Structure 1
Amino acid sequence: MPEVLQRWKAAFDGHRPDEMAGLFTADALFQGFGPDVLTGRDAVRGYYEAVPSGRRAEVTVLHTYTIGEQVAGGFADVTFGAADGWEARVHLSLVLRRDDGRWRIRQYHVSRVDSAQ
C-alpha cells in the first residue's frame, strides 16, 4: 500500500488527473469530499480535474493488511493543503486489488477530521 500512496501523492501534488485515474481499477468506488459515491476511472478523473492546482497532500500510513495475493488495503491520515493556508485533515481508507499485474485502488473513502474536537 505505501507504494500506491506514493504514486497517488506524486500525481495529486502534480495535479495530473489522468495519472490519478490510472491508479484506480476500472470499477473503482470513490468517496471524496463530495456527497456522492463515484464509480469508475472517468469519474475519478473528473473529480481530480476539479481540484484546484497547487493543492498538496501529506500522507501518514497507519495500518496495512493483505488478504491473499490479490487484495490489500489500509488506513492513512492525510492532510491536504494549499499555499493560501487552506487545509483539510482526513482519514483515508483504501482497498487495493491486483489488476493487470499491479496494485490499483478498488475502493477509496475519505472521512474529514473535525479539528474542533
Structure 2
Amino acid sequence: MKHKILIVDDEQDLRDLISYFLTRANYEVALAENGCVGYEKVQTWKPNLVISDIRMPVCDGFELLKRLTDTPENDTPVMFISGYVGGDEEELRKNPHCVGFIPKPVNRAELLEMVKQALPA
C-alpha cells in the first residue's frame, strides 16, 4: 500500500514540484492551496503525512497545525517547508505533530530522505 502525502502550499509551482518528486518515489499525493483546504483534506483523505508551508494567505501552517492538534482523533504528522526556517521553528517544534522542517529551495534527495524517516516502514 502506498503512503499518502498531502502537500499544502500557496505556491502552485512548489506544490507541483514536490508532488512530482513524491509521485516518482511511489507515494500517493494530494494537494491543497492553504491550511483550511488542507485541514478538510486531512479529514476526508486521511494522509500518512502532511507537508505544509508555514506562511500562506487565508490559513497558514500555524492555523493548520492548531486545527489538527485540536482534533482529538487526529494524529497525522506534519512536516513544514519554509523559506523562513529559523524563527518559526521553535514554536512549531514544540507541537508533537511536528516531525521536521524542509528548507526552501527544496532538494529532492533531502526531501525524500526526510519523508522516508517521518513515515512508518
**Fold similarity call, TM over 0.5:** no
Q: 1 or 2 for the larger relative contact order (CA 8 Å, sep ≥6)?
A: 1
Higher helix share: 2
**Which structure: greater strand fraction?**
1
Q: TM-score, normalised by structure 2?
A: 0.28
Tell which structure's C-alpha radius of gyration is larger.
1
